[in-house]
Amino acid sequence: MRGFGDLESAIMDQVWSAGRPLLVREIQQALYPERAYNTVWTVTEILFRKGWLAREKAGRAYRYRATVSRDEYTGDLMGEALAASGDVVAAFRRFAEQISPDEVEQLRQALEQARRGGSAR
């Protein structure tokens, strides 16, 4: 899995933020800077073919929804970054140096919950 390109990311942000399936027109109108409808439609269809979006018929158009949550996507990216690290402990240390005390506590709670076998979702 690799990160999204700029427009893919912007489209996914709109879909995740909406919390409901969106028409391409709704996505296109919410983007800044403004993008051509056909460009947004093409990239939305690419995201659908890649499996990031699902679609349902809405008249002559489709409504698109994310197949994974933003949190799941971010967590998977973090896992890949760790897997690519030559030294996981050093990567953890560097990450820990960059987060706030509140985030450290949230991470501590998430780790404890994962250790107990619970879901952090």
pLDDT tens sequence across 8-64: 999 999 999 999 999 999 999 999 999 999 999 999 999 999 999 999 999 999 999
Residue 95 CB partners (closer than 8 Å, separation 6+)? none
Which pLDDT band holds residue 120 (cuts at 50, 70, 90)?
Answer: low
CA separation for the pair 93, 97 (Å, rounded): 6
Q: Is the peptide bond before 33 cis (omega within 30 degrees of 0)?
A: yes
The residue ranges of every structural domain in the chain are: 6-66, 70-115
Given pLDDT bands bounded at 50, 70 and 90, which one contains residue 3?
confident
Question: What mean pLDDT is predicted for residues 78-86?
Answer: 91
Pick among 3.30.70.270, 3.20.20.60, 2.40.40.20, 1.10.10.10: CATH of 6-66: 1.10.10.10
Cβ neighbors of 35 (< 8 A, separation 6 or more) are: 7, 28
Query: Reduced to 3 DSSP states, what percent helix, strand and coil does the chain have, rounded to the nearest 5?
Result: 60, 10, 25
- Predicted pLDDT at 21: 98
Percentage of the chain modeled with pLDDT above 70: 97
Instruction: Report yes or no: 15 and 65 within 8 Å, Cβ to Cβ.
Output: yes
Residue 34 has a pLDDT of: 93
* Cβ within 8 Å of residue 26, ≥6 positions away: 14, 18
